Amino acid sequence: MTAEGHLIFSVACAIFAGKAELTPALTNGDWWHIIPGALLTCLLPDIDHPSSVLGQRLRWISAPIARAFGHRGFTHSLLAVFGGVFLLQCQLPASWGIPPDVLHAMAIGYLSHLLADALTPAGVPLLWPVRWRFCLPLLYNDKGNSPLERLFCLALVGYSLYWDGVMPDMTAILRRIDHLF
């Protein structure tokens, strides 16, 4: 997925997370904190690729990570997510004065990147260092700006704005499925 796609996709994920009341900080948070927080970290997993937007600007970080883990390695795994959560649990960012809604939005931004990459044929190694790749190949990128990718991401933003935040009643859905068999 392109950097533009990741940015747009993270906005949709942040809106969905806020409306779904995923955490109290996102539910009661300020949208002027949540959207920038998600945008801030949505490109971070690609720090492992020196040609990425962040990799070009932070080559001194990107090059060693790329040599050690390769692209879509450690930074695209649940191990990296758990490492980030561990840092948050250590209260390190709290001493920096970052509001909780921004921290939660930053987690959403990072996770949105993994989800978006899982929608491509290359997938993501969520269980790294195990080499299994998880993917649901809905998006194909021809190494350039994909108009379908942009349209898909913008449609998600549009739907996230339209969505009223009500989750479906899964028991009713499961009962209907059960009656089919």
Per-residue pLDDT, averaged over 120-128, amounts to: 90
What digits encode the pLDDT tens for the residues 102-112? 989 999 999 99
Mean pLDDT, rounded, of the chain: 86
Burial of residue 178 (CB within 10 Å: 0-12, 13-18, 19+) is exposed
Closest by Cα among 46, 4, 22 to 157: 4
pLDDT class of 55 with cuts at 50, 70, 90 = confident
Distances in Å between the Cα of 56 and the Cα atoms of 46, 109, 138, 142, 173 are 10, 20, 28, 21, 47
Per-residue pLDDT, averaged over 9-37, amounts to: 94
Read off the pTM. 0.86
